[in-house]
Structure 1
Amino acid sequence: MIKVVVIGFDGCLASALTGAADVFRLAGVTWDRLHGESSAHLFEVQIASVQGEDILCTSGIVIKPHTALEDIDACDLVLVPTIGGRLNRVLAGAGDVVSHLQRLAASGSDLASNDTGAFLLAESGLLDGRKATTHWGFTAEFRARYPQVNLQTEKLITTDGRVFCAGGGSAWLDLVFFLIERYHGYEIARTTARVFVFDYGRNNQSAYSSLQARFNHTDEPVSVAQAYIQSHYAEPILVTSLAALVNLSERTFKRRFKQATGLPPRSYLQKVRIDRARRLLERSRENVDQIALSVGYSESASFNRLFKREVGMSPGHYRSKFSRTV
């Protein structure tokens, strides 16, 4: 039996904490029972806080854990749920959690995190030099805090050795089913997902993200250029023209733009256009060719390639999945 420890701490997301425990506990069991068969549990699941104290979740729900982290010598898997409360406050008080993560990793436990739980793994140094993901909205903050981590927030789940991360608030479900498959095979994961009426197999979170444009900087010329792009994205825009608009040399403009926004000007323009195209695919009945033209692309083929690269699916697939008009 696989022994799983789900770490609870004040400010965690209750659903990611208890939901993961529920799905692990019922993996492979409920399906058999629905078909008149009996089977043994495949996972032993414990929710643990540092000293066995009650866990005050971000919703105000109080969870009584099964045990204390300090009483666990070893386990097969340690899962860190989403930080649902104030990130800085949780991290500031997470020293004991970090120490136990390091100890259990050293004992041979696999490690997993969901969403912002990756910040706790990163605090422990256990993500250094590894691939990881977190919620797309925290990309810039994570990279600033932990530049030594190979962050890939376009991915829903990352794997690197014995470390597994999932991005997105509800991605704990994807992560748990992924781990069920890892330990007990695809068929168990598939049938358990069917019991929970869950579409198992998503592989990226790019389709759910939006442009995280930085506007809260103090570089006025860059702010002017950003505003121009937001208003004129459908027109041909050259970097040289943007530099001239704000009276900077092209080289200086490129350097300052990337420093202020985190993106080169051309990449920023592409992301603005794709973001607008996504909104049109969701809310309008225009065909893909018309949408491509309306956001600044005269060739549908190049638009389709760029859209798929940025979003992880074709414009047609995106519309079928997210349209409000179909």
Structure 2
Amino acid sequence: MRPPCPDATPPRLRVGFVLAPRFTLTAFAGFVDALRLAADEGDRSRALLARWDILDTAQGPVVSSCGASVAPTAPLESPGRYDYLVVVGGLLHGGQRVPARLTAFLREAAAAGVQLVGLCTGSFVLARAGLMDGYVACVSWFHQEEFRAEFPGASLITNQMFVVDRDRLTCAGGTSVVHLAAHIIERRINRASAVKALRIMIEEQPLPSRTLQPEQVVSVGSRDTVVRKAMLLIEQQLHAPAPIEQLCEPLGISRRQLERRFQQDVGLSPAEYRSKLRLERARWLLQNTDLDVTEVSFECGFQDGASFSRFVRKSLQLSPRQLRQARAMN
């Protein structure tokens, strides 16, 4: 997938893609399409303002996790040609082994000051090469336990869309990749190009890195399939919680059965689990966003700020404003 022939004007942004074995196609496609749309007028797809290459990491086409293959467009050499090298991670099963020459190439790039980007599980590839030491990594909540187990001393964030830590940029995967791409486009080209690319992709304005990932549904370890489904429903309805009885209808069980299975599986009732999830979301929003207390209360499913404040104070012995101030002081 070589970009259309550009004119002689040097691009403002040069990107090399490094595809891991069984890479995530959505992550690659979302990022490269944002570049394509930002690089030219409309969707004419000329590589004018941005240019990109797919580097030959496997001496031929690389097979994605869904079975589709992507062919390289440039050799794996001279990393200094690029402003950013974007590592698109793959399935973790089997260790996500990458060729030794790829690891050496990434280390050479880091030494040359090239900015390194990890999409989805690309953060694992960078960390295994020793290139996340001293940096904060953003990992999907879905893979946080695997990351912590493999890199116990790493600094990790699992509740933001992406993290920019100096010359390392990592993101959780999924649709967060287009917002990380927009961040880079805005930095190297301009905001108008970033906004335009996202609008054509039917996305909203570029989202900041601090934007929340979805909550980890199994933040309390669960083995019961029905309980896990109930947790997902609770998460989806957290901003406008429904009565527990309504959770039971799509699950095909009674409230008493659901409460019994919750207690047996995670030691909490559904209402207690909802309360725990509300508290964690409230804590994070207060400490990591500039939303006012009323907005946070609505995000967490409260109808007014007074009841939200009582909930936080009872749970944490701090008011929402004190909780926010405590984080600022630290």
Q: TM-score scaled to structure 1, two decimals?
A: 0.65
2:238 to 278, 281, 295: 281
> Counterparts of 2:115 and 2:93 in 1: how far apart (Å)?
24
Decide which of 34, 40, 55 is 1:29's aligned counterpart.
Answer: 40
Change (3 A) 1:16 1:39: closer
How far off its partner does 1:53 sit?
1.4
CA separation of 1:28 and 1:286: change in aligned 2, threshold 3 A: farther
The match for 1:54 is 61
Counterpart in the other structure of 1:7 = 18
**What RMSD in Å do the two structures reach over aligned CA positions?**
3.7
Percent identity for Structure 1 against Structure 2: 22
Return the offset for 1:207: 2.9
SS of equivalent residue, structure 1 residue 49: coil
Would you say the 8 A contact 2:241–2:301 is kept in 1?
no
Residues 54, 74 of structure 2: 8 Å contact kept: yes
State the Cα distance separating 1:21 from its structure 2 match.
2.0
Deviation, 1:117, is 1.0
Give the equivalent residue in structure 1 for 2:316.
none
Q: Tell me the secondary structure at the aligned position of residue 35 of structure 2.
A: helix
Shift in Å, 1:148: 3.0
Give the whole-Å Cα distance in 2 for the aligned partners of 1:213 and 1:169: 23
Is 1:157 matched with 2:162?
yes
Aligned pair 1:81/2:69, yes or no?
A: no
Matched, 1:185 2:185: no
Q: What letter corresponds to residue 188 of structure 2 in structure 1?
A: Y
| Residue 179 of structure 1: how far off its partner (Å) | 1.1
User: What is aligned with 2:139?
Assistant: 134
Question: What one-letter code is carried by the residue in structure 2 that aligns with 1:314?
Answer: V
Cα displacement (A) at 1:110 = 0.6
Q: Structure 2: which 5+ runs fail to align?
A: 1-10, 245-268, 289-294, 303-330
Amino acid at match of 1:281: L
Distance 1:112 1:178 in 2: 12
Equivalent residue in structure 1 for 2:76, among 69, 78, 82: 69
Q: Which runs of 4+ in 1 moved over 6 A?
A: none
1:131 positional shift: 0.9
Query: Offset at 1:82?
Result: 3.1
CA offsets 1:33-92 (integer angstroms, 9 cap, x no match): 7xxxx9972111001122541111111111111012136553110001131x3443323x
User: Does 2:299 correspond to 1:317?
Assistant: yes
Counterpart CA distance in 2 for 1:303 and 1:283 is 13
How many positions carry a matched residue from both structures? 252
SS for the counterpart of 1:24 is: helix
* Ranges in structure 1 where 5+ consecutive residues have no aligned partner: 217-226, 232-273, 288-292, 321-326
Counterparts of 1:295 and 1:284, CA distance in 2:
10
Q: Which amino acid aligns with 1:169?
A: G
Normalised TM-score (structure 2): 0.65
